[in-house]
Structure 1
Amino acid sequence: MTISPTETAGTTGAAPAGTTSDSVRVVRDHVAASVPVIASLVDHGDHIAAWADDIATRLVAGRRLLAAGNGGSAAEAQHLTSELTGRFDGDRPAYSAISLHAETSAVTAIGNDYGYDEVFARQVRAHARAGDVVVLLSTSGKSPNLLRAAEAARAVGAFAIAMTGSQPNPLAAAVDDAICIDGPSANVQEAQLVLVHALCRAMEPALRRGARR
């Protein structure tokens, strides 16, 4: 049986006509709040396109992309790497992209031996080379493990970029370049997924051209 939005668990009748349950109101408010945050990415269009061109050039030249985040931002980072090792829109060769948080044995070993602040930085020092790109995602821009990763990336000569929430924040200041999105944390994270998709879509033509060289 399908339960209408105005019904509640444990009841058999609908709510009185013209009323809205608290949960429906919360959903509507959340979606309404996400719209302007996502729409603000239009203002970053040139910036996203510049990232796409730069990252695609690096990947075609044989460089790799490393990505990391915590919690929901980890999922966004892994979404990005999966689009590069798999495909986003149409067939093309795979490109090297690694989600550092997905290396569970490395994360737990490093966290156990060196502390959680080092779980990404040590992997950056292990995997990143000059010319690679390290992408760090955070809604707060304050996570110590991402700040350490930014330091490690710059130390090895990798290009460190970040997607964060409102600026100023420490991570945006620690990387070579950042796109900062204003808004509540959850809405920023939703916008970051759209940013990831926009970035991938903009990269695809260059990645396919590179594959034909």
Structure 2
Amino acid sequence: MIDIINDTLQASIDTKKSAIAENDQRLVKSARLMAESLTAGGKILLFGNGGSAADAQHIAAEFVNRFQTERVPLASIALTTDSSIITSIGNDYSFEEIFSKQVTALGRKNDVAVGISTSGNSPNVVKALKAAEKVGMHTVAFTGKGGQAADMAEIALTVPVGVTARIQESHILMGHILCDLVDRILFPENF
């Protein structure tokens, strides 16, 4: 059991290192995009399924409440949290529409849409990124090796492995890095 624990730890470390090395410039670009949008009165909309839904909520909470420094709340919404909206859209239309209809209703030009999908092919995430593009929003996709979401997003933050757990661990690390970078851009006096 100890060997399994240590092997898992090493696999997580290795995956995170390769993901950050692959995405460091894209993380900086994403943080600048988010900071510019927030400064202009925009917001960040995040969405995903399952563990990715939890990541969307986690990152939105870091922006709205605080990350590591005291500062004003930043406009961010996880589109995974309103069960009445999600179930009414799923029932009346389809599960594929649960995020795109919210993006169309809430998104504005120059807001940032963040779609999270370990496969990169979740139909509702892909459809929401397309809706965001139509609205004139910037798009960021967190994916595994790629997929449709990565291909269509303005910025793709990819994790080059096939193990969902390692992808999700890297996604939350990249989400935390974005929160930190955005705070440092917007509130340099706090550092």
TM-score category of the 2 structures, normalised to the smaller one: over 0.9
- Which stretch shows the higher mean deviation, 142-151 or 174-183? 174-183
SS in 2 for 1:98: strand
Per-residue deviation, 1:24: 3.7
CA contact (8 A) 2:26 2:156 kept: no
CA RMSD of aligned residues (A): 1.4
Task: Give runs of aligned pairs for residues 124-143 of structure 1, distance below 5 A.
Answer: 124-143=103-122
- Which stretch shows the higher mean deviation, 170-179 or 121-130? 170-179
- Calculate the TM-score normalised by the size of structure 1: 0.84
Report percent identity of matched pairs. Answer: 35
State the distance in 2 between where 1:39 and 1:32 align: 11
Residues 1:63 and 2:39 aligned together: no
CA contact (8 A) 2:117 2:143 kept: yes
Per-residue deviation, 1:205: 2.0
Structure 1 moving runs of 4+ over 4 Å: none
State the distance in 1 between where 2:51 and 2:38 align: 25
State the distance in 2 between where 1:44 and 1:79 align: 20
Residues 1:153 and 2:132 aligned together: yes
- Which stretch shows the higher mean deviation, 45-54 or 155-164? 45-54
Residues 1:177 and 2:155 aligned together: yes
CA contact (8 A) 1:57 1:206 kept: no
- Calculate the TM-score normalised by the size of structure 2: 0.93
Per-residue deviation, 1:190: 0.1
Gaps of 5+ in 2: none
Task: Give runs of aligned pairs for residues 51-200 of structure 1, distance below 5 A.
Answer: 51-167=30-146, 169-183=147-161, 184-200=163-179
Query: What is aligned with 2:14?
Result: 36
